[in-house]
């Protein structure tokens, strides 16, 4: 069985993420979308909310499992019996960053492989941080994030 892990903070999940999930799910028997705790970021949504939003927005993809973790990615992957890491790429700058991370993972754990999937061009400019910034200034995020996520961001931003 081919099990892959697609890690990220997904704060919030965007249509670009969904695009990567849909396409990656066709390559593997099980695709685990793993929300990880990144101590360097201040999230808009807590871990449980991100898991909930991912569960709602990926229910149309039958072989996806949503989970969360903190700690080392290689250890998490082994706990899940996965040997593939999926990374989405938007631009060349993403590749440089993700390439270095993939080489580091390979150095500490040669059994793990990293697969890069380019997002569709219509989503190449979308980032979670850009969505949060746009929403915080009252900009329209329709079509950039799933509808349920858009509603949740709208109610969260108003509270801030």
Quick one: pLDDT at residue 145? 96
Catalytic residue among 25, 50, 128, 132: 128
Question: What residues form the annotated binding site?
Answer: 9-10, 17, 41, 73, 87-90, 98, 123-129
Residue 40 and residue 65 in contact, taking contact as beta carbons nearer than 8 Å: no
Question: What residues form the annotated binding site for substrate?
Answer: 9, 41, 73, 87
The CA distance from 114 to 111, in Å, is 10
Q: How far is CA 6 from CA 68, 121, 138, in A?
A: 11, 20, 31
List of residues 6+ apart from 91 with CB closer than 8 A: 124
Question: What residues form the annotated binding site for ATP?
Answer: 9-10, 17, 88-90, 98, 123-129
What letter would DSSP give residue 158?
A: H
Name the CA dihedral angle for 70, 100, 3, 118, rounded to a multiple of 10 degrees. Answer: 110
Catalytic residue among 23, 65, 78, 90: 90
Evaluate the omega torsion of the peptide bond into residue 55 and state whether it is cis, within 30 degrees of 0: no
Q: How far is CA 9 from CA 6, 55, 106, 156, in A?
A: 10, 14, 21, 17
With both helix axes pointing from N to C terminus, report the angle between 128-136 and 147-159 in degrees, rounded to the nearest 10.
Answer: 50
Beta bridge partners of 6: 33
Per-residue pLDDT of the chain (160 residues; tens, 9 = 90+): 999 999 999 999 999 999 999 999 999 999 999 999 877 778 999 999 999 999 999 999 999 999 999 999 999 999 999 999 999 998 877 888 899 999 999 999 999 999 999 999 999 999 999 999 999 999 999 999 999 999 999 888 864 4
What is the number of other CB atoms lying within 10 angstroms of the CB of residue 66?
21
Quick one: pLDDT at residue 65? 98
- 80 alpha carbon, distance to own chain's centre: 17
Residue 126 and residue 88 in contact, taking contact as beta carbons nearer than 8 Å: no
Task: Judge: domain 3-122, CATH 3.40.50.620.
Answer: yes
């Amino acid at each position: 069985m081919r099990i892959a892990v697609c890690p990220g903070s997904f704060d919030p999940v965007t249509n670009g993420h969904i695009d990567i999930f849909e396409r990656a799910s066709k390559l593997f028997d099980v695709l685990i979308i793993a929300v990880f705790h990144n101590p360097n970021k201040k999230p808009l949504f807590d871990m449980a909310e991100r898991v909930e939003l991912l569960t709602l927005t990926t229910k149309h993809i039958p072989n996806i499992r949503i989970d969360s973790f903190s700690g080392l990615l290689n250890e998490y992957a082994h706990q899940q019996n996965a040997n593939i890491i999926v990374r989405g790429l938007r631009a060349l700058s993403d590749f440089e960053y993700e390439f270095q991370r993939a080489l580091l993972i390979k150095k500490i754990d040669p059994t793990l492989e990293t697969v890069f999937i380019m997002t569709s061009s219509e989503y190449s400019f979308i980032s979670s941080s850009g969505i949060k910034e746009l929403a915080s200034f009252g900009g329209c995020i329709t079509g950039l994030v799933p509808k349920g996520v858009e509603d949740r961001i709208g109610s969260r931003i108003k509270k801030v």
